[in-house]
A and B are shown apart, each in its own frame.
Chain A
Amino acid sequence: MSIELLAFYLFASVAVVAALGVISLRNPVHAVLSLVLTFFSIACVWLLLDAEFLALALVVVYVGAVMVLFLFVVMMLDIKVAATREGFIRFLPVGIAVALVMLLEMLALIGVRAMRVAPPADPAIANGMANIQWLGQALYTRFLLPFEVAALILTVGLVAAVALTLRRREGVRHQDAARQSQARARDRVRLVSMPAERNEEPRS
């Protein structure tokens, strides 16, 4: 068994265990941390496969986005500042555990890639083409149609999000700068001349 295969089994089993944790842990914050670990382990697998750009994108986009989600969860669960601080300490052990596993994975990855002798499988990459360049070329040639359709799917997401959330409320006072600057005194103030009247009512 080569060392790469060993590393793959390590990353894959961490990913599977962490994924199980996502759906079985009762505490939502623990579940989110577990999800971060899942993504991270998958990114490590991708790095083993020489997909550097995809792996980094996964970490930046998903782990980053999930961290934001994590923040939302914390914000929604504990609104008070003191409680948030308490939550921080309470969740610290799990956070540290996740961070330690991540560190372990990173060290393993660095070790494996340093020890590796076999050239990358793809001939273009073996010839020194950068990973991201290869990806870009594939996306705009062989996979142009799926790429464009994926863009359409994102457009649908955009249209749907606007259609489902934009509400035109009645009675909301909008500020219309053009109308404001066009206002004249005679539009706003009306001088009415009224005949003076004597108060005929008897005083009581």
Chain B
Amino acid sequence: MPNLNDILTLLPEAYLTGAICVLLLLDAFISERQRAAVHWLTLLVLGITALLVISGQMQGTASAFGGMYLRDPLAEILKLAAIAVTAIVFLLARPYIEDRRIAFGEFHTLTLFALLGVMLLVSAGSLIMIYLGLELLTLSSYALVALNRDSPLSSEAAIKYFVLGALSSGLLLYGMSMIYGATGTLDLNVIRMMVPMTPHHGLLVFGLVFLIVGIAFKFGAAPFHMWLPDVYEGSPTAVTVFIGSAPKLAAVGMALRLLDMGLPELLRDWQPMLAVLAVLSLAIGSLLAIVQTSLKRMLAYSTIAHMGYLFLGLAAGTAFGNAVAVFYAIAYALMATAAFGIILALSRAGFEADQIDDLKGLNQRSPWFAGLMAITMFSLAGVPPLFGFFAKLLVLQAAISAGMLWLALVGAVFAIIGLYYYLRVVKVMYFDKPAADSVLAASRNLPLRWVLSLNALALLVLGVLWGPLFDWCLRAFTAA
């Protein structure tokens, strides 16, 4: 029977749920002019949720609702990172949302619902909670993508996302039902104990294949990446910045829960699958990004390549590899918010700065933003001494230490290919003349300017001081 202790363990999520309901009602009754209150209250809610996560974790690792919900260091890291990223998204997105008359309150509440899904997903201790957390996240994302109702591109992206997302959920559920059939339990810890004992090894591997496909779909790893460029391009940039960052943290949490916590005994089976996904993602992401003219599409393909690197860490299957995967997801989320944030900062009503050519001569118009974009691009490319460099380095190290030297070599080769398309953006900003009719001007919204600057500079600072963050990630896997 659930008791008060269970609910106290669940306090961050319970608080967030209540707060979302209050915000939802507030938004319905508040007048248009006072809408900013919803925005600032949302940020306050995020702050309190983060404090609750930290204070909960201080009381140590625990589980609630019969092992369905887990409070452990892994969940803490991913939750705090997701909350931070979501706060950045709100601050960056506000002018864009207001300019385009996208439903203001719904954007906030749906994003909070998605965050709640992320939090439940990374804390999930059973297959059913993984599925429900994921559905909460993706269902909110579908609605967010379609939120710009006047844009046919946005509706098209939402439909594609919805159909492919439903398909991947179906595949994931099918895999889960096979795992359940083989082990007779939904609890991931029990599944781990049952795996060596079950006589149905074939059934387990069969289910595992579908689980991996479901995970790859959610990451957007090749060959299950088809939805990603269209969705990134079609959704309002304010939404792209969210679905490009926080769900990646959720996906890494989901993969670690399913593979590392539930099925570590099947490492020999899932390691090659992840390696293949990693190589394909690296190849397709890096090569197709070269030919893109849309900045959003280019960043989408770059996401696919980055998910390939993340899979290198996951494929290692060691504590170090898992920590690297979490570290990489956090690094990528921060880089994604900065990169899409630049597009948000340069867009205004009626103009989307989402083509690479739109950035022509940005250095002459707005040297500060050009500098921030250059930092972000260098970080995405993995140029030392930026954050992205150390993330890539650690991933390659994890692959080598797991005895997959060839995989590390492939990763290094594609890192060099990747340099080309990131540097092209820098070249366009610094060495091209602005088009004659270009009216490039950076947003004057102060929170946006500050958050974007801090976000991009964090890539610089964390490039030097990445050690403590990585130690934190590593502790999540070695403390237990």
Contact = CB atoms under 8 A, between A and B. Distances in A.
Contacts of A155: 113
A142 B24 CA distance: 29
B116 A145 contact: no
B345 interface: no
Nearest to B10: A145
A144 interface: yes
Interface stretch (B136-144, B175-183, B353-361): B136-144
A159 interface: yes
B113 A159 contact: yes
B128 A146 contact: yes
Given A152-B116, A164-B143, A159 B24 contact: yes
Interface in B65-121: 65-66, 68-69, 103, 106, 109-110, 113, 116, 120
A159 B114 CA distance: 12
Contacts of B103: 163
B132 A149 contact: yes
A167 to B, nearest CB: 8
B106 A145 contact: no
Contact of A163 (B128, B135, B143): B143
B149 A145 contact: no
A156 B143 contact: yes
B68 A145 contact: yes
A143 B332 CA distance: 35
Contacts of B128: 143, 146
A60 interface: no
A153 B136 contact: yes
A160 B24 contact: no
Contacts of A142: 66
Given A145-B65, A145-B68, A156 B2 contact: no
Contact of A145 (B129, B136, B139, B147): B129
A141 interface: yes
B68 A157 contact: no
Contacts of B120: 149
> Which of A145, A155, A163, A167 is packed against the most chain B CB atoms within 10 Å?
A145
A68 interface: no
Given A144-B2, A150-B132, A160 B142 contact: yes
B136 A146 contact: no
Contacts of A160: 106, 110, 139-140, 142-143
Nearest to A145: B65
Given A146-B128, A159-B113, A164-B147, 9 more contacts: A143-B128, A145-B68, A149-B129, A152-B113, A156-B139, A156-B143, A160-B139, A160-B143, A164-B143
Interface of B: 1-2, 6, 10, 17, 24, 64-66, 68-69, 103, 106, 109-110, 113, 116, 120, 128-129, 132-133, 135-136, 139-140, 142-143, 146-147, 149
12 contacts: A143-B128, A145-B2, A149-B120, A149-B132, A152-B116, A156-B113, A159-B113, A160-B106, A160-B140, A160-B142, A163-B143, A167-B149
**Which 9 pairs from chain A and chain B are nearest by CB?**
A160-B143, A163-B106, A145-B65, A149-B132, A146-B128, A156-B113, A144-B2, A145-B68, A163-B103
